[in-house]
Amino acid sequence: MADEETLQAQTSEEPAAVAPKAKEEPKVPEPKKPLEKMTAKELREYGLELGDIMGVHSMNKEELLTAIKEALGISDESGSKLFAKEIAKVKVQIKELKSGRVTARESGDKKQVEMLRKRIGRLKKKTRRLAAAG
């Protein structure tokens, strides 16, 4: 009978030993809307809620997005930075063409102004397409 009591005591203790208390992971608050749709102010508030991110007030939107995604463990292979370098190059070309257009207007060359206007329009469309693709 004593053997049965010890056996029951051992079996009642085993489930507690087998199932140790699981570490409670800190509760990560869900964002109210997709991260890319949030404003910089909302991203700062969300970054503060997470608590893992330092210096949220000195970051811009892109930096906040990358820091929050890193803290949440989200890999971001696609994004607005995918074609950022190409977009920047096209914008430099647009600025050059705009300055050329101003000089053409001053000289009174309407044909040159029209040509530059169309080129600028095409390049602007290109930047929009690149931004939408990336």
For 22-80, the pLDDT digits (tens) are 444 556 777 778 888 889 899 898 888 888 788 888 999 888 888 888 888 877 655 55
Q: If you ran DSSP here, which 8-state letter would residue 108 be given?
A: T
Residue 103 predicted with pLDDT over 90: yes
Distance CA 24, CA 54 (A): 23
For residue 49 the two structure tokens come to 């809620």
Contact present, 78 and 134 (Cβ < 8 Å): yes
8 band by pLDDT with thresholds 50, 70 and 90: low
Q: What is the pTM (predicted TM-score) of this model?
A: 0.43
Q: Is the pLDDT of residue 109 over 70?
A: yes
